[in-house]
Amino acid sequence: MSAIHPSPFARYLLAKRSVDDRALNRNVYDALLAQLPNVNAPLRTLEIGCGVGTMLERIVRWGMLQERRIDYLGIDNDAGNIAAATAPDAPNLTARFEVADFYTFAELPAHQSHYDLVIAHAVLDLFDLDRALPLVRALLRPGGLGWFTINFDGATIFEPPLEGDPNDALNTAMLAAYHATMDARTIDGAPAGASATGRRLLSALPRAGLPVLAAGASDWVVFPCNGAYPDDEQAFLEAILGFFAHSLDGAAGVSPAARNQWLTQRHAQIARAELSYIAHQLDFLVARPAEVNS
């Protein structure tokens, strides 16, 4: 049997594991551990946009299963991601992955008020919050928790400056155009995310009936050390530039020559292990309030 090679996007998800490990806000994670119920029954856990299963592998590696059992379901609308997804062989873990559209899944009555924990990792900034968050709340049982991580918050930084761009004009224009594509993105004619999702969640979550219990920064910070990038982070940076190339192709106010000049220099900086990259993001822990018996 021939080996199964991950798709380019699945390859990106695998390459960013170490970047996410550093970025995830440990104060928010510790608050999650403190709030998880101490019960004998398995923790019914749903991950929205689970990708290839890296968050499940992480919570096992970080010890979430040491004192509890978890019944995990990961859903993703990309069949290629699900085909590449794997679950760690760990005691106290039952795991499965399914191809599913979030909105269709969330609206099924069987899934309402069912989950003790809903995880959304690096995915809420791809949704229309006003539509998605009430559905997330409905998935949680009263008292259930939401752990929403790596929500982009409108700041992207590349260093060093480009050659021949002393006032940073070209770089500033490329970043502004890239963020604008996030704000203009639609799926099936409906809004799909925004460049300032992180800060918007601070008010959108309570408005949707999900009070914030903890929040904190979860910035991606990638830089070369001793002439090389750690782990698989060179591939991660190349994938980030691939997202820029796709998004800026035909973007308003961006000429093909300017786009190509920017990309060529940034790729060259990666090849020389010179490029550093920062993306500002926020993590949140929320809860669906418990019902009060009158």
Which DSSP state fits 116? E
Query: In this structure, is residue 214 part of a structural domain?
Result: yes
Query: In this structure, is residue 124 part of a structural domain?
Result: yes
Query: In this structure, is residue 93 part of a structural domain?
Result: yes
Cα(197)–Cα(195) distance, rounded to whole angstroms? 6
Residue with tokens 């961006």: 254
Query: In this structure, is residue 278 part of a structural domain?
Result: yes
Query: In this structure, is residue 19 part of a structural domain?
Result: yes
Closest CA relative to residue 236, chosen from 17, 6, 1: 17
For 23-33, how does the pLDDT look when each residue is reduced to its tens digit (9 = 90+)?
A: 999 999 999 99
For 130-164, how does the pLDDT look when each residue is reduced to its tens digit (9 = 90+)?
A: 999 999 999 999 999 999 999 999 999 999 999 98
For 237-285, how does the pLDDT look when each residue is reduced to its tens digit (9 = 90+)?
A: 999 999 999 999 988 888 999 999 999 999 999 999 999 999 999 999 9
27: its two tokens: 């104060």
> What is residue 293's predicted lDDT score, i.e. its pLDDT?
61
Q: How many domains does the chain have?
A: 1
Cα(116)–Cα(144) distance, rounded to whole angstroms? 4
> What is residue 186's predicted lDDT score, i.e. its pLDDT?
86
Q: Give the up-direction half-sphere exposure of residue 169: CA atoms within 13 A in the CB hemisphere.
A: 6
Query: In this structure, is residue 1 part of a structural domain?
Result: no
Strand, helix or coil at 280?
strand
Query: In this structure, is residue 294 part of a structural domain?
Result: no
Query: In this structure, is residue 231 part of a structural domain?
Result: yes
CATH assignment of the domain containing 232: 3.40.50.150
228 lies in which domain range? 8-287
Q: Which residues contact 215 (CB under 8 A, 6 or more apart)?
A: 25, 28, 202, 282, 283, 284, 285
Cα(95)–Cα(72) distance, rounded to whole angstroms? 5
Length of the chain: 294
Prediction pTM value: 0.95
How crowded is residue 43: how many other Cβ atoms within 10 Å of its Cβ?
Answer: 20
